[in-house]
Structure 1
Amino acid sequence: MNKKKELRSIEKFEIREVEENDNTIELEGYIAKFDTYTELWNKYYEKIDRNAFDETLSDGHNIFLVYHHDMSKVLSSTRNNTLILTTDDIGLKFKAIINKKLTYANDVYELVKTGECRGCSFGFYILEEDTNYNSEKDEVRSTLLKVELLEGTITPIPAYEDTEVSARNKKERMKTKGKPSDENEIEKLRTKISININK
């Protein structure tokens, strides 16, 4: 199966704590939030199940925290124990310990401190999702059930362009699939009503 990398962003400020020490910078916040629908594109809504990250966090593969989805600007990683990822009732939480000797790390620190970087994003593969099309509302609601997390990102710009294209394509496919399904459901309902009337 060909897997396509997906990107999602949190628009609001989600870096909760910033601390500077002699040799390191510590950042703490949320990469993703659970059980809250986000409109990725016109009438395409998505939320993340609270268990979506369980497997990817426990399988031992290396996950990076980078700047603006640039893998040449790694800030920390789980393999080096400089990136700690945990889940709570709110979402996927991160704590990063960043080496101040990295020149771009100091740039990120200043951007976060001054408020120029106001959010977090993450890159991942969708492994399992539950997607439903409502023909009456002409909308799609999708729940990410299982994902493979590749990286978290500190970013000044939400990464929505590719997300919109992906959501739009999914919605069109669901509309095509949804109509026959809806007709089948209506026919089943008619049969059930007929049986009840004739009893």
Structure 2
Amino acid sequence: MLWGGSKGGLEVRTSGDGSTVLRGRFPYAIPTVLSDGRERRREVFEARAFGRSVSDGGDVHLLVHHDMNKPLASRGAGSLTLEDTDDALTFEATLAPEMRSVGYVVDFLGTLGAGLVGGISPGFRVPQGGDYVKRSGGGIMRVVRSADLIEISAVTKPAYPAAQIEARNWTPDHAVKPRTNAAQRWRA
């Protein structure tokens, strides 16, 4: 499985019943540099690259740092919804009030609120024919046309610096500034 990152937005709100709603987006058509070595490697997702996964209704999880032992929400549990548009893959997750007493959720919400979580990163598989590689700008560019979405993660350092994470409360002007980095790498 591969991971890509994004600085789409991650918005966090807590409702009156104590549930926490997370909203985020992974934007399409924004290339990123995965390796700036001797031969520069870049990657870009075409519009609706995750369309098949979204429309088939299969289970997808929202995780903390790509760790299947740290789920926040899932389609199977009815706590995660996905939408695939020409601009971005967007999601909305609802964390039940009971989740606020789970250790890793407390840690995640604390690091998010402190601005230490920096992006959104999808975990995916590319089926045969779902991508192609071309020479571009002194290196190679991998174009992902279609990918099977396995999970979406909130991560510290996403591979896609054009995306950002923000945390918002119900009170205005409580936004966390994003941190950018290309830590997660595409492997050829």
Quick check: TM above 0.5? Answer: yes
Q: Percent identity?
A: 25
Q: Does 1:9 align with 2:23?
A: no
Q: Is the 8 A contact 2:118 2:158 kept in 1?
A: no
Cα deviation digits, residues 122-167 of structure 1 (max 9, x gap)? 1100121021125xx5411121011000000011233655625x1x
State the Cα distance separating 1:99 from its structure 2 match.
2.2
What's 2:131 paired with?
129
When residues 118 and 81 of structure 1 are mapped into structure 2, their CA distance, relative to the original with a 3 A threshold, is same
What's 1:175 paired with?
none
Q: Is the 8 A contact 1:18 1:113 kept in 2?
A: no
State the Cα distance separating 1:86 from its structure 2 match.
0.7
State the structure with bigger RCO (CA 8 A, min sep 6), 1 or 2.
2
RMSD value, Cα: 1.9
What's 1:151 paired with?
151
What's 1:25 paired with?
20
Q: Does 1:88 align with 2:90?
A: no
Q: Which has the larger radius of gyration?
A: 1
- Tell me the distance in 1 between the aligned counterparts of 2:134 and 2:85: 27
What are the ranges of 5 or more consecutive residues in structure 1 without an aligned counterpart?
171-199
State the Cα distance separating 1:110 from its structure 2 match.
2.3
Q: Is the 8 A contact 1:66 1:74 kept in 2?
A: yes
State the TM-score, normalized to the length of structure 2: 0.75
Q: Is the 8 A contact 1:100 1:106 kept in 2?
A: no
5 Å matches for 1:1-199?
5-10=1-6, 12=7, 14-15=9-10, 17-21=11-15, 22-30=17-25, 32-42=26-36, 43-102=40-99, 103=102, 104-127=104-127, 128-134=130-136, 138-158=138-158, 163-164=185-186, 166=187, 170=188
Q: Which letter maps to 2:150? A: L
Q: Is the 8 A contact 1:75 1:99 kept in 2?
A: no
Q: Which letter maps to 1:146? A: S
Runs of 4+ in 1 over 4 A off after TM superposition: 159-162
Q: Which letter maps to 2:66? A: H
Q: Is the 8 A contact 2:157 2:184 kept in 1?
A: no
Number of positions where the alignment pairs a residue of Structure 1 with one of Structure 2: 157
Structure 1 range deviating more: 90-99 or 108-117: 108-117
Structure 1 range deviating more: 20-29 or 101-110: 101-110
State the Cα distance separating 1:89 from its structure 2 match.
4.1
Cα deviation digits, residues 6-63 of structure 1 (max 9, x gap)? 01112x4721x21113331111111x21111111112111110112111111122200
What are the ranges of 5 or more consecutive residues in structure 2 without an aligned counterpart?
160-181
